[in-house]
Amino acid sequence: MVNVTVKPTNKLQGRLRAPASKSYTQRMLIAAALSKGIGKIANPLLSEDTQATLRAITALGAQVQEDKEHWIVRGVGKLKAGDLIDVGESGATLRFMIPIAALAEGRSTFLLSKSLERRPNEPLLASLKMLDIEAYPEQIGGQKVIVVEGKGGIAGGRTSISGDVSSQFVSGLMFACPRAKTDTEIQITTSLESKDYVKMTQEVLSLHQVKMQISDNYDCIHIPGRQTFEQMDCRVPGDFSSAAFLLAASAITDSNVKIDNLSSETAQGDRAILEVLKHMGVNLEVYDQGVNVQGTEDGLKAIDIDAKNIPDLVPICAVLACYAMGESKIFNAQRLRFKESDRLATVHAELTKMGASISMDESSLTIKGPCKLQGANINSHNDHRIAMSCTVAALRARGETMIENAECIRKSYPSFYTDLTNIGVEIVGGKLVR
């Protein structure tokens, strides 16, 4: 376990490059693996979750050559079954690869980590059953797994799935069903949440010449069968989900920091952090490939935030609300109960520990600011977004803050603490700071 101590910081200054997008890296790897021939992925993110995706696609037959600037992927026409595939703690990798494993001949087995054991997968398994795909949970020597009985292909047909549990279920079907023997129609039975992640999947598939029709209200997806994925060279854009922590750190310290490698034209839903900051009174300059935080005139203002399509922003938005004048409410956040931790509960617990005036119900957080936060020993709950959010909260707290099990940031943003030190944050301890 690695602990780091964060000291209060009055001002940040400098210029950083946002890390590459985890979500795009995973999607581009999978699309390249399903394409024949060789493709190059430039600017990939190397993190625990993307390494999980690498393990999964190579277990099913793809070959990947890695270097610092790009990855070369040799795709595979006929997938092979994979035995005991370790997807780490990556829910996206698991949910994307379960349908894809049905394209292989034979049994594929996915190992579930402790955090993945508590995250729901039943809606995806039920949806696959409607397509005559047998996938089910099992235990092997005390280890919980999900087994997919591949038949060397997917027949196609009609299926349905709820849209309010995880958009990753829908993306998994979108990856696999273009190679079905006939067309597939997916009915989404509830309002689709986090639909921008589905748009992201469609964008990557489109780059590989895969076609599908999605209804305007995202309640039906028609995927023609027998499609061929065309290999393409791709470049991973910067990640707004990770950059949100840097932007928030600049905002609460009223600092001037530039973050490069961010395009406001991206399909990423978490670009909404820019609108959140603007509504809270932060002066931003959005340029071609980046954002310049220029401080605030009268301090941060309270805001109400609908988390339906931006669940990953909730922890850092709660921190921003702690330093804002007035009462902020973050609502439609019930899906956070099933992330790496129960994020509603862990955000509430750790910010309360720091002295925040924060209350919680089943689907929302209410914060009365500004809060006089104080340093504390923070339990990250092995959740990267909790660790990074509480690190940002510590910048204006009274006294030092210790983040326990800080290495969990490797899941999505391995250079987080290094980047913070480069703009003036004093962080002590741990091998995460170079």
Is there a contact between 38 and 73 (Cβ–Cβ < 8 Å)?
yes
Q: What residue type is assigned to position 134 of the chain?
A: E
Distances (CA, A) of 107 to 63, 77, 361: 20, 18, 42
Residue from 280, 243, 279, 245 nearest 264 by CA? 243
Locus of tokens 């390249």: 32
Is 132 a known active-site residue?
Answer: no
Give the Cα separation of 221 and 144 in Å (integer): 32
- Residues recorded for the chain: 434
What is the spatial distance between Cα 177 and Cα 77, in angstroms, rounded to a whole number?
15
Decide: helix, strand or coil at residue 415. coil
Distance CA 400, CA 422 (A): 19
Q: Which residues pair with 222 in a beta bridge?
A: 185, 213
User: For residues 322 and 330, what is the distance between their CA atoms, to the nearest angstrom?
Assistant: 12
From 49, 312, 383, 419, the catalytic residue: 312
User: Strands, E, within 297-418: which ranges?
Assistant: 300-301, 304-306, 324-331, 358-360, 365-369, 377-379, 401-404
Q: Who's near 371: CB < 8 A, 6+ residues apart?
A: 322, 323, 351, 354, 355, 356, 357, 358
What does the block give as tokens for 196?
Answer: 């921008």
47: left (phi over 0), alpha (psi -120 to 50) or beta: beta
Burial class of residue 369 (count of CB atoms within 10 Å of its CB; 0-12, 13-18, 19+):
buried
- Quick check: 37 and 275 in contact, CB under 8 A? no
Q: Rounded to whole angstroms, how far apart are CA atoms 315 and 276?
A: 13
Residues with catalytic annotation? 312
